[in-house]
């Protein structure tokens, strides 16, 4: 399929696939640019870029901030792309969620692992709330959504114990009432819609850069 698309003289192929590594495989077998739009639970580079852009717009910098990724870390390609980018720019990254969804192996990469949102909440400058991806789970990792929400959902009561200028983020789609309550998702600390806006700008920029790479005479 990729070879057929390349035969149409395209500048880039944008690929999203359930199998991790698919964009890398395509890039080894076609001459045009390949953009990874998400490969399984591996990576989602443009989501990572837009999340970082949103934080930097709101806080002015990344270095020195404490950013917690909360939720289904095991199945989240967004988490991986965020971790690599945030660490490169000097943030302290925490991954938090049930032990069935958060592995201790992240500690080997300098990431703090936590199993209690309440314990880390007062230290966090940014919370990025990742949805529970039931479609990728072979078995239910916790007894019920209600129990998950009691322990990990960002709600109005928890907001009273957070920093006054905390940023609330979510890559979407969000499960209201599971990872986040409506009052927080739509509240003054939420930058979820800013993420959506920045997503368009980031992806336009990526496509433009790939076009320039494929057409060396194109204006930069």
Tokens of residue 123, six digits = 């230290």
Q: Which pLDDT score, from 0 to 100, does residue 69 have?
A: 98
| Pair 118, 64 in one domain | yes
Buried b (16+ CB within 10 A) or exposed e, 143-175: eebeebbeebbbeeebbeebbeebbbbbbeebb
**Residue 139 is part of a domain; what is its CATH number?**
3.40.50.1370
Residue 220 lies in a domain: no
96's CB contacts (< 8 A; 6+ apart) are: 68, 69, 70, 71, 102, 113, 114, 115, 116, 117, 120, 152
Q: 55 and 67 in contact (C-beta within 8 Å)?
A: yes
Question: Per the structure, how many domains does the chain have?
Answer: 2
Mean per-residue pLDDT over the chain, rounded:
92
Q: Which pLDDT score, from 0 to 100, does residue 123 have?
A: 98
Q: Is a pLDDT exceeding 70 seen at residue 217?
A: no
| Pair 62, 19 in one domain | no
Beta-bridge mates of residue 167: 126
The whole-angstrom separation of Cα 218 and Cα 209 is 10
| Pair 30, 123 in one domain | no
189's CB contacts (< 8 A; 6+ apart) are: 159, 162, 165, 166, 167, 168
Question: Three-class SS of residue 92?
Answer: strand
Query: How sure is the predictor about 140, in pLDDT bands with cuts at 50, 70 and 90?
Result: low
Residue 186 lies in a domain: yes
For 58-62, 70-74, 214-218, which range has the lowest pLDDT when averaged over its residues?
214-218
Q: Is a pLDDT exceeding 80 seen at residue 220?
A: no
């003054």: which residue's tokens?
188
| Pair 153, 186 in one domain | yes
83-125 pLDDT, tens digit per residue, is: 999 999 999 999 999 999 999 999 999 999 999 999 999 999 9
Q: Which pLDDT score, from 0 to 100, does residue 119 have?
A: 98
36's CB contacts (< 8 A; 6+ apart) are: 15, 23, 43, 44, 45, 46
Strand locations in the chain, DSSP E? 12-17, 33-39, 66-70, 92-96, 112-114, 126-129, 167-169
| Pair 175, 71 in one domain | yes
| Pair 76, 182 in one domain | yes
Q: Is a pLDDT exceeding 90 seen at residue 172?
A: no
Residues spanned by the domain of 51: 45-196
The whole-angstrom separation of Cα 175 and Cα 134 is 11
| Pair 119, 209 in one domain | no
State in Å, rounded, how far the first CA of the chain is from the last one.
31
Question: Three-class SS of residue 95?
Answer: strand
Residue 219 lies in a domain: no
Q: Is a pLDDT exceeding 90 seen at residue 173?
A: no
């990724």: which residue's tokens?
69
């Amino acid at each position: 399929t990729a070879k057929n698309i390349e035969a149409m003289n395209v500048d880039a192929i944008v690929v999203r696939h359930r199998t991790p590594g698919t964009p890398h495989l395509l890039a080894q077998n076609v001459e045009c640019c390949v953009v990874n739009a998400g490969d399984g639970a591996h990576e989602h580079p443009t989501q990572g870029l837009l999340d970082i852009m949103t934080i930097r717009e709101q806080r002015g910098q990344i270095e020195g901030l404490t950013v917690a990724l909360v939720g289904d870390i095991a199945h989240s390609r967004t988490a991986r792309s965020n971790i690599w980018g945030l660490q490169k720019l000097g943030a302290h990254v925490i991954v938090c969620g049930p032990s069935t969804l958060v592995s201790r192996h992240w500690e080997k990469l300098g990431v703090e692992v936590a199993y209690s949102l309440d314990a880390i909440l007062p230290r966090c400058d940014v919370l990025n709330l990742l949805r529970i991806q039931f479609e990728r789970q072979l078995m239910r990792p916790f007894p019920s959504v209600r129990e998950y929400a009691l322990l990990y959902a960002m709600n109005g009561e928890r907001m009273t114990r957070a920093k006054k200028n905390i940023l609330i983020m979510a890559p979407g789609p969000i499960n209201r009432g599971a990872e986040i309550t409506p009052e927080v998702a739509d509240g003054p600390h939420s930058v979820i819609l800013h993420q959506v806006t920045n997503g368009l700008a980031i992806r336009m920029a990526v496509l433009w850069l790939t076009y320039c790479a494929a057409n060396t005479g194109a204006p930069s």
